[in-house]
Structure 1
């Protein structure tokens, strides 16, 4: 195994790398023609605005079905990770309580509650056919379709008053004063009258979901005092930095509740497991999109009001870190393809769907040979809605794709509105749970941590196996740091005129141009005063994480001086001078009213370490055609992005030498920290990043080697234990 001198990390390690000739190449031969004078304007100095939920999220359809299937696999991993469900949390058989039948003409309503996880209850209403509807929807086994109904904001018991109803009826939104006053229950009632079993469950904080409050889950604008993380503590609360580092969110809990509600519906004895569907509007449309991505048993879907290239969901319960980086709701909805999926375009953020979004979905479905399985109808005469007109479109869609065989069009009929008492799940005989608020949060997150630790037992730590690591951790890390090593044809190098440094060294400033990302990464070619004009065997890439405040140039330190004296020539990757448009040591964040949730920044934008990782990879690619070896050296302060860059580069680096110096992502106390990466703690922290590089040569400098169980295990399973070494940081 080949090593570079370790004087950069202290003289005590020099023995390890003694006797080696380490001199950098001047320039890769294929880039010499592109060595031009540095232009005045550096593109990366003009930072683009951070993407927000109100941006544009186009769907670029891949050229082939094979390309789409590969992309779809990546997206499903992203959705599962963002919701905290990679790997999937346990979904044992549901033990539900069903009670108190409420009868109406053609259907009946039953009240339901069950534990989605120990101590956390999901509540809702179950609609079944009754009377003359009993003969509809049956298959040969006497079973019916099941339709899950995420209700969206407003709650399942959202009630329009008389004045509102008169306006809706006059406008054509609704037909009836009574049933139309509860539009979310009206669709469940009509589905039951069509012969389906329909279940509408409570979103977190709505109606009978009382353990976490509505304001907390859906109207969050400020950080709670108890979320502030003092050093050495872990609050185990939603929206805290430790929770984000483990991808635990209200969206994740709500998605898990939705999956458990689907499990409940599918488990009912009168439900046909081959005819299961989901439909929701607005926030319920967001849940429908996510359910379609995660639950393969869904056979038909109607995600209304949220499939759009525009606004992606304004509530904290619709956003999670990682979810929409490089993607958006239209592409996420496309994960349903080629199974039937319908929707509408209204006078809201979906208004452009007929020309931007739906054509692309149609193109994808056509490529998959099922063009008739996707539908978007324009109802732009109405504002944001799941009104009677939209519901009627949905009824026809479900009638066709659930094989109900009913005459069309299907028209709603009126019924006496369900009263608040009739719709209440909790009563004297079925009391509401008493554990609520922060104490309940701690209970939920503690269970979540325990389950994740158990599920990752064969992926992380001393028991890690290559199979477990490759199946779960590797795709997770590839999602967190999702910028690949660029093709050499996509990068180039530009240098300015050389200048003399006060140390006597010659410095040539330059940039590596990453054309695909429109980034220019500052580099310096440092040539020692004692350098000889020889053809060197090794290119040494030095990651510079700090800069002199007065000049903005790489900090002239004893470490850099020692390394330069031994290597004679260094290519310094000047990460420190890259603009971040934030305070020192912090990342840029979206200045929105909903700023208190990290998801509004990191749900749409890569964290800074992922961007910096991409910058390092661009430089590695730029020097790939250099004669001899290429080695990456990262002194203190660069581990958060140098480790993943070394892992992604793999065999394109002869060796990586990283000074971790006690850094752990788990120790970060705020989401704005420049090293914060959502999810990285769940997936093994720096230990897993080191394991990700196996079987290629890696030297880690740290205060101890005891915390690197995963790296040791994975290097061993790949018969490469001799390729990884640990040395003490100075």
Structure 2
């Protein structure tokens, strides 16, 4: 005890060293330091958006690590929430830090790391089970109140050539309604497969032309198809205004809507529980991957323009609940791989974050399928000259894939040349697709309209509102 006391006293008597400093702390404009880094490593570093303007940093030049370009850039940019993207071997671009977006180089690095975690099927199955549990918990599905037992609200059917459409309002939680449309083959004979089609952020949501076309064609081929509104989009805005779409609870409600619409459809006698498909583009592609990863009932999936190792979705309705932090970090490529060994078509294009799929993400997913000896069950349809959409060429890739694995009749929609013909599909106006009337006059009286109470249904507080009040 005496020795310890004497040592403590000695330490207290030793003069404290002054914090390292200089007259000006070597303060430098970081634009100058960045150019010095460019010179040291013989690369081009572009600040296209003027993000470096008027920013200065203490000890800026001292942060340069000769021999490590990336570490040097990170040390200088991170204090300002800035980062860099590698465009090619000699060109870098300065960008604001975005939690959901990285460069494809970072994506490649992550996929290499992930692949090394599970060299065999046993290791993968353990990883997959942990991810599944975490994703369900992160989204909040395990805390969702039970679905009320009442019947859904269904509008009269509209009959068209070889299919019908009716609208549905399903109370997925007390006072919370999922709104959408159900497309059925006509006549409906025997048991039919069901396809859930979550939407992305494409203009008119489920009312847009390409969404109606794909639902109608799938119905003509023999599937029952369910299309539904995003949270705080379409008729959902009767309950929650559109500005609330960018709250993280949107991700919870959207996935829960798909799950409970599927619960309802699978309770119908005319549905074949062994043939369940899901497909959507962009944000709907995100939901497609999530659903195929966590719901064992889904047998076929087609995520469109969203499978990326370096972008997890910039909207909180895709990435706001932190599911990509599961397993000490995952990404959409690994989440897509969780569908293995069930048939999956990954659709990508050259004009967005899926441009790297053929060389980067698809080989990774295929390798995971190969752990089951089912490499042939995952395919990639890549459209190098196209952009971010669920356009005609992408639908034409999806139809035969769904037909093959859901047992649909492709001949029903082919013309004399053998081409899939969408021209007989009817594009309905908004008012025909509403469940609750043109002005929401038929919205149930118990409909919840308070976002704070919505959070409370999950035992949570709306942190965004709390933050705004501070």
TM-score after normalising by structure 1: 0.46
Cα distance in 2, alignment partners of residues 318 and 434 from structure 1: 30
**Offset at residue 440 of structure 1 (A):** 2.1
Q: Given the alignment, which residue of 219, 226, 235 partners 1:199?
A: 226
Matched, 1:431 2:431: no
Deviations along 1:94-123, one digit per CA (max 9) or x if unpaired, are 721222211211111001111000001111
Deviations along 1:593-646, one digit per CA (max 9) or x if unpaired, are xxx998xxxxxxxxxxxxxxxxxxxxxxxxxxxxxxxxxxxxxxxxxxxxxxxx
Report the equivalent of 1:268: 268
Cα distance in 2, alignment partners of residues 357 and 192 from structure 1: 31
Report the equivalent of 1:102: 158
Cα distance in 1, alignment partners of residues 146 and 206 from structure 2: 30
Deviations along 1:449-498, one digit per CA (max 9) or x if unpaired, are 29x9xxxxxxxxxxxxxxxxxxxxxxxxxxxxxxxxxxxxxxxxxxxxxx
1:140-151 to 2 correspondences below 5 Å: 142-151=190-199
Report the equivalent of 1:250: 250
Report the equivalent of 2:348: 345
Report the equivalent of 1:526: none
SS in 2 for 1:208: helix
Structure 1 pair 379–297 and aligned structure 2 pair: CA distance change class (3 A): same
1:389-404 to 2 correspondences below 5 Å: 389-404=393-408
Cα distance in 2, alignment partners of residues 260 and 92 from structure 1: 11
**Offset at residue 93 of structure 1 (A):** 5.5
Structure 1 pair 431–75 and aligned structure 2 pair: CA distance change class (3 A): same
Matched, 1:306 2:315: no
Report the equivalent of 2:378: 374
**Offset at residue 324 of structure 1 (A):** 1.5
Report the equivalent of 2:213: 186
Structure 1 pair 99–321 and aligned structure 2 pair: CA distance change class (3 A): closer
Structure 1 stretches of 5 or more lacking a match? 1-18, 24-39, 136-141, 160-181, 219-238, 240-247, 453-595, 599-668, 674-730
Matched, 1:212 2:240: yes
**Offset at residue 203 of structure 1 (A):** 0.9
**Offset at residue 253 of structure 1 (A):** 1.9
Cα distance in 1, alignment partners of residues 290 and 445 from structure 2: 30
SS in 1 for 2:457: helix
**Offset at residue 436 of structure 1 (A):** 7.2
Cα distance in 2, alignment partners of residues 126 and 186 from structure 1: 13
Report the equivalent of 1:356: 360
Deviations along 1:5-39, one digit per CA (max 9) or x if unpaired, are xxxxxxxxxxxxxx9x999xxxxxxxxxxxxxxxx
Report the equivalent of 1:52: 99
Instruction: Kindly indicate which of the two structures has a greater share of residues assigned to helix.
Output: 2
Structure 1 pair 436–88 and aligned structure 2 pair: CA distance change class (3 A): closer
Report the equivalent of 1:386: 390
Cα distance in 2, alignment partners of residues 320 and 670 from structure 1: 16
Deviations along 1:45-103, one digit per CA (max 9) or x if unpaired, are 94966662111434332211111111112211221122012466535657212222112
Cα distance in 1, alignment partners of residues 225 and 206 from structure 2: 15
Structure 1 pair 446–417 and aligned structure 2 pair: CA distance change class (3 A): same
Structure 1 pair 46–324 and aligned structure 2 pair: CA distance change class (3 A): same
Report the equivalent of 1:291: 291
SS in 1 for 2:435: coil
Cα distance in 2, alignment partners of residues 351 and 251 from structure 1: 25
Report the equivalent of 1:695: none
Contact 1:78 1:322 in 2 (8 A): no
Cα distance in 2, alignment partners of residues 398 and 431 from structure 1: 36
**Offset at residue 158 of structure 1 (A):** 4.3
Cα distance in 1, alignment partners of residues 467 and 4 from structure 2: 40
Cα distance in 1, alignment partners of residues 274 and 394 from structure 2: 25
**Offset at residue 272 of structure 1 (A):** 0.5
Deviations along 1:175-216, one digit per CA (max 9) or x if unpaired, are xxxxxxx11011000000000000101111222112112222
Cα distance in 2, alignment partners of residues 314 and 379 from structure 1: 22
Cα distance in 1, alignment partners of residues 223 and 207 from structure 2: 22
Contact 1:157 1:423 in 2 (8 A): no
**Offset at residue 430 of structure 1 (A):** 6.9
Contact 1:157 1:420 in 2 (8 A): no
Report the equivalent of 2:146: 90
Q: Given the alignment, which residue of 403, 417, 421 partners 2:431?
A: 421
**Offset at residue 316 of structure 1 (A):** 2.1
Cα distance in 2, alignment partners of residues 303 and 419 from structure 1: 27
SS in 2 for 1:256: helix
Q: Given the alignment, which residue of 441, 444, 450 partners 1:440?
A: 450
Contact 2:100 2:312 in 1 (8 A): yes
Return the index of the structure with the highest Cα Rg.
Answer: 1
SS in 1 for 2:450: helix
Cα distance in 2, alignment partners of residues 97 and 292 from structure 1: 27
Report the equivalent of 2:184: 128
Contact 2:213 2:422 in 1 (8 A): no
Contact 2:194 2:277 in 1 (8 A): yes
TM-score after normalising by structure 2: 0.70
Structure 1 pair 212–87 and aligned structure 2 pair: CA distance change class (3 A): closer
Contact 2:154 2:435 in 1 (8 A): no
Structure 1 pair 405–100 and aligned structure 2 pair: CA distance change class (3 A): closer
Higher RCO structure (Cα 8 Å, ≥6 apart): 1
Cα distance in 2, alignment partners of residues 441 and 150 from structure 1: 22
SS in 2 for 1:336: coil
Structure 1 pair 118–87 and aligned structure 2 pair: CA distance change class (3 A): closer
Cα distance in 1, alignment partners of residues 161 and 307 from structure 2: 34
**Offset at residue 380 of structure 1 (A):** 1.8
Structure 1 pair 195–22 and aligned structure 2 pair: CA distance change class (3 A): farther
Structure 1 pair 205–670 and aligned structure 2 pair: CA distance change class (3 A): closer
Contact 1:300 1:402 in 2 (8 A): yes
Report the equivalent of 1:15: none
SS in 1 for 2:455: helix
Aligned residues: 364
